[in-house]
């Protein structure tokens, strides 16, 4: 009888040990910075009353160490609001959204965010002011902002407002000069001169953003300087046509950050404190619908500013549609002569008298190659053309019954008033 009771007692103690481990593991399991990361190690923070049954022989050999927990302090856990992930492009782990992530990102960029004030009036008498935001991107005083903040669009052509007032986060005020402005992208460059080095923001890459990534908007909404709001990326390639905006094709980053009048021109920042967009507009009477120009597009525009002082956009005179498997299948059901393609860009309309019309493009053509590069989207065609207005380009197209021909098109510079 006595041996039986001893076995029961031993089994009960073992059960208590495993139960304590399971309970502790389900409650407070977290990583510590004081561990040797060259070896796998786990720290369990548990109430002191549970610690006695846990001193097992395999604690040290397997890297598991109990840590008695007195009064519970949630700050010890350093809880993250998202799991870290590895970027498929650079194979580098991106940080979690922790307690200080937003604050750190705002602190990195905040000093470089400025308030831009423009006075309106006649005969030198100011009657009104408009407010916007901007970001210092070079220590020499180069500021990135929106064109509509510093440019007058009332009339057939955009006209620079010339001088603007720039206020830094530390309260210093400068007179700024509008150096360049592009109507289509709504991007402009303002320059200020300072005797001391100026804080500048680091530019990131908008191409690495994914829907659901956290972002921060910084600016001066309603003239309230140094305002920070946060949200997520809702869409990485929202087309201007989706928003009912006519004219030339543009793409925006859609976020749910709170954006208001005065945020225009301010930076959209990732959790690494890098500028990934320029906040440009919101949808009135709609919550969580804000838009920014991707920084990759902005960088190309600023490069053209440096090179030519303006942006050159080649024009073909084509209305095109991106093809995918579903659209191709539907088109083949409607017309059995539709060419056999797996990807490409469908020509929906050709403008009479345009470069494409002179080159021989027809509605129904599927562009599969441009300048010896395969194409699967309008975006790729635009990237291949770049700023090469007046430079001949060879396009390979497929027509009905799988006829393949090569057309030579000479892009023209688009009309700035279009």
CA–CA separation, 319 and 370 (whole Å)? 16
Decide if 186 is catalytic.
yes
DSSP 3-state of 134: strand
Per the document, the length of the chain is 418
Decide if 242 is catalytic.
no
CA–CA separation, 360 and 185 (whole Å)? 30
CA–CA separation, 297 and 299 (whole Å)? 5
β-strand partners of 292: 253, 279
CA–CA separation, 264 and 138 (whole Å)? 19
Residues of the chain by 3-state class (helix, strand, coil), percent to 5:
25, 35, 40
CA–CA separation, 228 and 211 (whole Å)? 20
DSSP 3-state of 154: coil
Catalytic residue among 117, 130, 148, 213: 148
Q: Find, among 139, 113, 117, 118, the residue nearest to 193 by Cα.
A: 139
CA–CA separation, 113 and 133 (whole Å)? 7
Reading the block at residue 387, the tokens are 């700023």
CA–CA separation, 183 and 186 (whole Å)? 5
Using an 8 Å Cβ cutoff, are 170 and 194 in contact?
no
Burial (CB count <10 Å: 0-12, 13-18, 19+), residue 346: buried
Catalytic residue among 185, 264, 290, 297: 264
Alpha-helix residue ranges (DSSP H) falling in 139-179: 147-150
CA–CA separation, 220 and 140 (whole Å)? 22
DSSP 3-state of 321: strand
Catalytic residue among 108, 182, 186, 365: 186
Decide if 358 is catalytic.
no
Residue labelled with tokens 């909404």: 221
Look at the alpha carbons of 304, 308, 311, 315 in this order and tell me if their dihedral is positive or negative: negative
Using an 8 Å Cβ cutoff, are 292 and 270 in contact?
no
Residue labelled with tokens 């009479």: 352
CA–CA separation, 113 and 216 (whole Å)? 13
| Residues annotated as part of the active site | 148, 186, 264
């Amino acid at each position: 009888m006595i041996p039986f009771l001893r076995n029961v007692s031993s089994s009960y103690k073992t059960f208590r040990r495993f139960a304590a481990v399971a309970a502790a593991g389900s409650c407070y399991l977290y990583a510590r910075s004081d561990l040797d990361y060259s070896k796998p190690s786990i720290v369990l923070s548990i109430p002191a009353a549970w610690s006695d049954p846990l001193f097992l022989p395999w604690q040290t050999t397997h890297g598991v160490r109990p840590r008695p927990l007195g009064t519970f302090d949630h700050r010890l856990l350093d809880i993250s609001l998202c799991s870290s992930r590895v970027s498929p492009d650079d194979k580098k782990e991106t940080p979690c959204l922790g307690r200080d992530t937003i604050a750190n990102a705002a602190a990195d960029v905040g000093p470089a965010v400025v308030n831009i004030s423009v006075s309106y009036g006649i005969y030198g008498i100011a009657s009104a002011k408009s407010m916007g935001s901007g970001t210092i991107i070079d220590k020499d005083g180069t500021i990135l902002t929106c064109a509509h903040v510093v440019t007058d669009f009332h009339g057939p052509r955009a006209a620079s407002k010339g001088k603007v007032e720039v206020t830094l986060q530390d309260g210093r005020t400068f007179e700024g000069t509008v150096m360049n402005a592009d109507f289509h992208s709504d991007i402009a460059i303002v320059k200020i001169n300072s005797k001391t080095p100026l804080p500048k923001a680091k530019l990131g890459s908008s191409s690495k953003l994914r829907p659901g990534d956290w972002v921060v908007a910084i600016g001066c909404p309603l003239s309230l300087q140094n305002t920070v709001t946060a949200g997520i990326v809702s869409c990485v390639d929202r087309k201007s046509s989706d928003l009912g905006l006519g004219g030339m094709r543009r793409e925006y980053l859609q976020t749910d950050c709170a954006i208001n009048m005065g945020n225009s021109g301010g930076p959209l920042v990732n959790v690494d404190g890098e500028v990934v967009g320029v906040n440009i507009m919101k949808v009135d009477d709609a919550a969580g619908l804000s838009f920014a120009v991707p920084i990759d597009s902005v960088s190309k525009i600023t490069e053209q500013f440096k090179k030519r002082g303006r942006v050159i956009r080649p024009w073909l005179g084509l209305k095109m549609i991106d093809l995918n498997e579903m659209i191709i299948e539907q088109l083949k059901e409607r017309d059995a002569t539709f060419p056999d393609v797996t990807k490409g860009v469908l020509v929906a309309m050709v403008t009479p008298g345009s470069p494409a019309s002179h080159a021989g493009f027809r509605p129904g053509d599927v562009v599969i190659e441009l300048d010896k590069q395969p194409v699967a989207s309008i975006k790729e065609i635009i990237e291949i053309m770049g700023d090469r207005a007046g430079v001949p380009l060879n396009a390979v197209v497929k027509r009905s019954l799988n006829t393949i021909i090569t057309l030579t098109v000479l892009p023209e510079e688009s009309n700035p008033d279009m």
